[in-house]
């Protein structure tokens, strides 16, 4: 069996979240067929991969919102909660986990990295150079949310530091004690009508996503980054820009030294890795903010009611939201031998 035919099959192991790999195969047999369908459809095709990610994301959100509505009207007895939890798992397995873990952390992603290395060896004779460029290709120039935070912190600090009133306020934040008051003062200044209109419009147009007057957490985080790690963040931003330049340079070199087919393949592999990072960090990663608090709460409710009904104590290692309700079967057997 070739490497390609192996990675087109449902994986036997994955780097992360292998905990549910066989559980989902057993409980939702259709996931094997769905995994293999998606992998074959998206194989070496970044645009098709991106298409599937967006489609799965949309289906997941639609199903999850429907489940939230169902839960609000659900009879909260143990049996109903367990059935509901299985529905949660099914939506998660087919429309979230399959992409973010089974594919993005599985043998397909590993295969892509191996193919990148093979092509880089044709471009560079030095082994260390190959590994260095491979690391750059796997990092890609995709900006994860953390990168967006540090880049914004530098940009906002540079912008605000142009104003004498802001510079005076920045001098007061060496100690963490008064920081929130100072950050609130900055927002108040920015909201005043007499602030230079053009500059104010430019500020809000570029960084509108930072502001939420009810919850200023993101603004506080960015401003703390601005005063605590400015020099370090400037350096990181430069490094990200260098990564982008290096990738573009290598892809141009591939056009010159490799055949058109292999040069295109290297570019497709690079884009696939980049889109995998995008899918994991942005598309699916952000869903955890809403998904996990609800699922953790549901899991605790199931565990509490199960322990009461069967007069037992679920061990911590069996109480993960990924293992409930599957791990309950063992405890039920102990209670009813």
Could you tell me if 224 and 240 lie in one domain? no
Could you tell me if 173 and 309 lie in one domain? no
Could you tell me if 153 and 298 lie in one domain? no
Average pLDDT per 10 consecutive residues for the chain, totaling 337 residues:
72 78 95 96 96 98 97 94 97 96 92 94 93 89 77 88 84 79 83 58 71 75 87 86 89 91 95 93 89 95 92 89 90 70
> What is the model's pLDDT at position 297?
95
Question: Do the Cβ atoms of 91 and 64 come closer than 8 Å?
Answer: yes
Could you tell me if 276 and 312 lie in one domain? no
Could you tell me if 134 and 247 lie in one domain? yes
Helix boundaries (H) for the chain? 3-7, 21-27, 30-42, 46-72, 78-92, 107-123, 127-139, 145-160, 164-170, 179-191, 197-207, 217-228, 230-257, 260-278, 288-310, 328-335
> What is the model's pLDDT at position 196?
56
Domain count, the chain: 3
Could you tell me if 175 and 90 lie in one domain? no
Could you tell me if 121 and 267 lie in one domain? yes
CA distance 37 to 214: 44
Could you tell me if 214 and 256 lie in one domain? no
Domain boundary pick from 201, 228, 255: 228
Could you tell me if 178 and 135 lie in one domain? no
Could you tell me if 205 and 326 lie in one domain? no
Domain boundary pick from 203, 228, 253: 228
> What is the model's pLDDT at position 151?
86
Range of the domain at 274: 112-139+233-283
CA distance 149 to 146: 5
CA distance 299 to 321: 6
Could you tell me if 244 and 127 lie in one domain? yes
> What is the model's pLDDT at position 1?
39
> What is the model's pLDDT at position 263?
94
Give the other-Cβ count within 10 Å of 276's Cβ. Answer: 24
CA distance 197 to 252: 44
CA distance 166 to 190: 10
Contact partners, residue 139, CB within 8 Å, separation at least 6: 243
Could you tell me if 88 and 134 lie in one domain? no
> What is the model's pLDDT at position 99?
96
- Distances, alpha carbon 89 to alpha carbons 82, 95, 234, 276, 297, in Å: 11, 10, 42, 22, 15
């Amino acid at each position: 069996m070739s490497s390609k035919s192996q990675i087109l099959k449902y994986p036997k192991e994955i780097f992360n979240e292998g905990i549910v790999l066989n559980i989902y195969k057993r409980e939702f047999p259709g996931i094997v067929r769905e995994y293999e369908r998606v992998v074959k459809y998206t194989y070496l095709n970044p645009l098709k991969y991106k298409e599937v990610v967006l489609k799965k994301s949309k289906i997941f959100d639609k199903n999850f919102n429907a489940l939230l509505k169902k839960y609000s009207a659900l009879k909260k007895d143990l049996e109903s909660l367990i059935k509901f939890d299985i529905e949660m798992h099914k939506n998660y397995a087919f429309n979230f986990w399959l992409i973010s873990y089974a594919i993005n952390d599985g043998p397909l992603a590993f295969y892509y990295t191996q193919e990148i290395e093979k092509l880089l060896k044709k471009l560079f004779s030095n082994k260390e150079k190959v590994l260095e460029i491979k690391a750059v290709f796997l990092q890609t120039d995709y900006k994860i949310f953390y990168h967006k935070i540090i880049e914004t912190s530098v940009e906002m600090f540079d912008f605000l530091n142009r104003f004498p009133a802001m510079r005076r306020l920045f001098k007061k934040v060496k100690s963490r004690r008064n920081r929130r008051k100072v950050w609130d003062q900055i927002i108040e200044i920015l909201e005043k009508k007499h602030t230079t209109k053009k500059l104010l419009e430019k500020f809000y147009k570029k960084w509108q996503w930072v502001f939420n007057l009810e919850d200023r957490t993101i603004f506080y985080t960015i401003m703390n980054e601005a005063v605590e790690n400015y020099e370090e963040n400037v350096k990181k931003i430069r490094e990200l820009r260098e990564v982008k330049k290096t990738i573009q340079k290598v892809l141009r070199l591939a056009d010159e030294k490799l055949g058109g087919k292999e040069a295109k393949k290297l570019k497709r592999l690079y884009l696939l890795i980049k889109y995998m990072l995008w899918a994991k960090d942005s598309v699916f990663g952000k869903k955890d903010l809403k998904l996990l608090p609800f699922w953790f709460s549901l899991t605790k409710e199931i565990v509490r009611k199960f322990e009461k009904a069967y007069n037992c104590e679920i061990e911590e290692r069996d109480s993960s939201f990924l293992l409930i309700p599957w791990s309950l079967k063992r405890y039920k057997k102990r209670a009813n031998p």
